[in-house]
Structure 1
Amino acid sequence: MSALIRYQLALLLRSQRWLPPLLMFAMLITAGAFGGQQYGDSLGWCAGMLVPGAGWLTRTVLTGEPAAARACLAAPVGPRRAHLSALLAALVCGCVLALAGGSAEWLLSSPPPHLPHPPLAAIALHGSAAILVGLLVGTAVGALCAPPLLGRPAIGVLTLATASVLLLVAPVSPVNHAIRDVFTSSSPTATTTLPLLPLLASLGLLAVSGAAVVQLAARGVTD
């Protein structure tokens, strides 16, 4: 599986199709840093922006191979392993986005202005968990908005954008819940909470969506 993941990553890097989602994510992270936010707010912002960023990048990885090349890859290793390797490669790329975005937000932010406030170690831990939630949800949405479920680029991108907005604003969304848990704000009673339930929900979402698209991809290649 590691060789297949390296192949998918090399294919992505050679195509340079990773550049648009990377630039969009960088612009969103920069926009969040201009407000001089404190640590918890900035990490929450990064978690939210990972939904469209990781989603678009995941769709880019899953659509990087021409149909003929995908069929040739699936012949020796199986269609499920071929599609799963692309999904895992997208998750690896998303981890790079999350690490870069979270580090940038932390370096460009400031501590909470009021005392008492949560310890910075707690803010960092809880914020990192929220970022992981955004990464997992974004990867899941990107997988669902890519072939074989949504093959047409226009429909896939529009669905991805719509789903990203809904996941950020809907109170029942694990991303929205995680952001509210680490959004410390500037009040004297600022608090932060480990988003454990959103993390478990995002893991389940990625597992279910990943299994579904891998199964659909296998049927599409073999039929």
Structure 2
Amino acid sequence: MGALIRYNLAAVVHGQRYVAPLLFFGIVLTVFTVNDSGPLANIYVVSASTLLVSMCWLTVTILNHEDPVRRSIQSVTAGGSSRVLVAEVVLALLIGVGLTVVGLIFPILSGSHHWDGSGLAAGVLALATCLFTGIAIGVLCSRLVVPRTGYSLLLALVVVIAVPLTPGLPPVNPALRLMSGNRPAGELLYPLSGYLVVSIVVAAGCIALTRYISVRRE
């Protein structure tokens, strides 16, 4: 599995299509957090929202980086298409963890905030919720489900915008609404933990559904 992850990483890096979502993440985070002095929980709404879009974009990029013929060859070599899909999801998750750390620390370094353990924990939970949700949307909107790459990216864009903006739709919208309020960070940890669990379940379901659809098409 490690070799398969390294192969996909090398292929994605060589294709350089990862640059746009990473630039998007860095630019938006910089513009909205530099010199900010508001509540730390509120600024993590920006980090989490940006991570959601970036991870959806990156996940689609990772799953779409090879055409169907080359993907079939990789599946045969790797011992099955399931192993390829898992390796791609793990790669997206590893990159997402790195972006989560950046989204957690950069606002503290670039702005002027009072922070404590509860605030950081709330930020981790909100960012992780958006990380798993972004991967879930990206997997379900990849070429494995939507064969045409253009339609795949367009669908991902529509869904990733609709998910955080739809009132009451778990897990992202209520999590971001909690973070944008005035409640103490310590009171947010329990509900945010629940939304994180929901995002993990949603991601697992989307991966399983994508696997089922892709196998039916093989």
TM-score, normalisation: structure 1: 0.87
Indicate the residue corresponding to 2:145 in structure 1. 149
Q: C-alpha distance in 1, partners of 2:59/2:210?
A: 12
Indicate the residue corresponding to 2:19 in structure 1. 19
Alpha-carbon offset, residue 10 of structure 1: 1.3
More deviation in 80-89 or 211-220?
211-220
2:104 matched to 1:102?
Answer: yes
Which runs of structure 2 are paired with 1:33-52 in the superposition (5 Å)?
33-34=33-34, 36=36, 37-52=38-53
Q: C-alpha distance in 2, partners of 1:52/1:142?
A: 9
Runs (4 or more) in structure 1 with deviation over 4 Å come to none
Q: Residue 92 of structure 1 aligns to which amino acid in structure 2?
A: L
Indicate the residue corresponding to 1:166 in structure 2. 162
| Residues 143, 213 of structure 1: 8 Å contact kept | yes
Alpha-carbon offset, residue 13 of structure 1: 1.1
2:138 matched to 1:128?
Answer: no
CA displacement 1:109-141 (0-9 Å, x = unmatched): 3335xxxxxx61100011111000010000100
Q: Residue 33 of structure 2 aligns to which amino acid in structure 1?
A: A
Q: Residue 83 of structure 1 aligns to which amino acid in structure 2?
A: L
Q: C-alpha distance in 2, partners of 1:39/1:11?
A: 37
Q: 1:191 is matched with which residue: 164, 184, 196?
A: 184
| Residues 84, 214 of structure 1: 8 Å contact kept | no
Alpha-carbon offset, residue 26 of structure 1: 1.4
More deviation in 35-44 or 16-25?
35-44
Which runs of structure 2 are paired with 1:195-210 in the superposition (5 Å)?
195-210=192-207
- Count of residue pairs brought into register by the alignment: 211
Indicate the residue corresponding to 1:84 in structure 2. 86
Q: Residue 102 of structure 1 aligns to which amino acid in structure 2?
A: L
RMSD, matched Cα: 1.7
Q: Residue 178 of structure 2 aligns to which amino acid in structure 1?
A: D
Q: C-alpha distance in 1, partners of 2:6/2:29?
A: 28
**Shift in alpha-carbon separation, 1:83–1:210, aligned structure 2, 3 A:** same
Give the secondary-structure state (helix, strand or coil) at the position aligned to 2:139. helix
Give the secondary-structure state (helix, strand or coil) at the position aligned to 1:147. coil
| Residues 60, 142 of structure 2: 8 Å contact kept | yes
Indicate the residue corresponding to 1:6 in structure 2. 6
Q: C-alpha distance in 2, partners of 1:165/1:144?
A: 15
Structure 1 or 2: more helix by fraction: 2
Q: Which ranges of structure 1 fall in alignment gaps of 5 or more residues?
A: 113-118
Q: C-alpha distance in 2, partners of 1:74/1:41?
A: 44
Indicate the residue corresponding to 1:115 in structure 2. none
Indicate the residue corresponding to 1:111 in structure 2. 113
Q: C-alpha distance in 2, partners of 1:42/1:21?
A: 20
Give the secondary-structure state (helix, strand or coil) at the position aligned to 1:64. coil
Q: C-alpha distance in 2, partners of 1:109/1:121?
A: 17
Indicate the residue corresponding to 1:116 in structure 2. none
Alpha-carbon offset, residue 35 of structure 1: 6.7
| Residues 35, 112 of structure 2: 8 Å contact kept | no
Which runs of structure 2 are paired with 1:54-65 in the superposition (5 Å)?
54-65=55-66
Q: Residue 119 of structure 2 aligns to which amino acid in structure 1?
A: I
CA displacement 1:147-175 (0-9 Å, x = unmatched): 12112222222211211121111222311
